[in-house]
């Protein structure tokens, strides 16, 4: 599938109670021509990524109403919009108007990505924004049918960009990736939401060697290895005992 065909299928993706930022315009927050801007940005980004040897595709769950719904970019909010474009040498106006809106997940992701020099492409299992009925500025988990449609596009994206490895951020992403017929190393990373920010940061900094010592390690599945290396996604018991002791002494 070519880049043009990929975007055509992405724009045609339609489900009830979802927002497609590459075809639809939000009447409250989008600037004039926002869907066109988002489509052009993604097209340029794909073009740049095709010509590079990607280290990885980082795969999240779906677009959020404070992030990708507005920017059209996975794991990216208004605050980090131009940072994302700069990584691919792209200059385009922001597709939203008004004040910048931050998103917690995007903030955690870009705290790491801003220190990663390797070329990384960001995407989601479901590439649209799923929301609750009659509440476009809410988030909901995507359905099995939506996940299936997103998985087809994700597989085409992987074939198009040919990354060295895949990084699933969260259980939904990781479980989708391991079901695909893809012969690439797949790495599971804790999602930064719901109290997972510290573990997400520790796993990512270890994966990209951004610091020497971490409490948590990612789970890695390498299909090329005879026995896939699996590192338990938790600190060793000795560390837990030390932490418990410190908490006990601190209360005395």
Residue 238, pLDDT score? 43
Contact 133, 15 (CB under 8 A): no
Residue 163, pLDDT score? 98
What are the average pLDDT values for consecutive 10-residue runs of the chain, which has 252 residues?
A: 96 98 97 97 98 97 98 98 98 96 97 97 98 97 97 97 98 96 95 94 95 56 53 43 43 44
Residue 159, pLDDT score? 96
What CA–CA distance (Å, rounded) separates 30 from 33?
Answer: 8
Hunting for tokens 């994206």 — which residue is that?
157
* Furthest C-alpha separation in the chain: 65
CA–chain centroid gap for 190, Å, is: 12
Residue 224, pLDDT score? 61
What φ, ψ does residue 166 adopt, rounded to 5°? -120, 140
Q: Tokens for 197?
A: 């920010």
Question: Checking DSSP bridges between strand 165-169 and strand 186-189, what pairing results, if any?
Answer: parallel
What CA–CA distance (Å, rounded) separates 136 from 18?
Answer: 8
**Angle made by CA atoms 38, 21, 131, in degrees to the nearest 5:** 150
The runs of H, that is alpha helices, within 181-235 are 197-207
Residue 181, pLDDT score? 84
Q: Tokens for 213?
A: 């010592």
């Amino acid at each position: 599938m070519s880049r043009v065909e990929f975007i055509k299928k992405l724009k045609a993706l339609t489900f009830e109670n979802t927002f497609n930022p590459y075809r639809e315009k939000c009447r409250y927050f989008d600037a004039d021509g926002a869907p066109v801007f988002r489509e052009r940005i993604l097209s340029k980004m794909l073009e740049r990524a095709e010509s590079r040897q990607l280290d990885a595709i980082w795969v999240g769950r779906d677009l959020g109403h404070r992030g990708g719904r507005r920017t059209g970019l996975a794991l990216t909010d208004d605050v980090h919009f131009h940072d994302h474009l700069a990584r691919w040498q792209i200059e385009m106006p922001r597709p939203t108007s008004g004040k910048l809106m931050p998103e917690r997940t995007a903030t955690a992701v870009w705290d790491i990505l801003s220190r990663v020099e390797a070329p990384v492409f960001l995407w989601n299992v479901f590439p649209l924004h799923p929301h609750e009925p009659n509440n476009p500025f809410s988030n909901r988990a995507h359905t099995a049918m939506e996940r299936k449609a997103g998985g087809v596009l994700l597989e085409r994206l992987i074939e198009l960009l040919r990354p060295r490895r895949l990084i699933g951020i969260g259980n939904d992403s990781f479980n989708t990736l391991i079901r695909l017929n893809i012969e690439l190393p797949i790495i599971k990373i804790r999602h930064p939401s719901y109290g997972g920010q510290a573990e997400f940061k520790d796993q990512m900094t270890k994966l990209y060697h951004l610091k020497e010592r971490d409490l948590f390690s990612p789970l890695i599945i390498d299909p090329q290895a005879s026995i896939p290396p699996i590192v338990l996604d938790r600190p060793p018991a000795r560390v837990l005992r030390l932490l418990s002791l410190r908490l006990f002494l601190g209360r005395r």
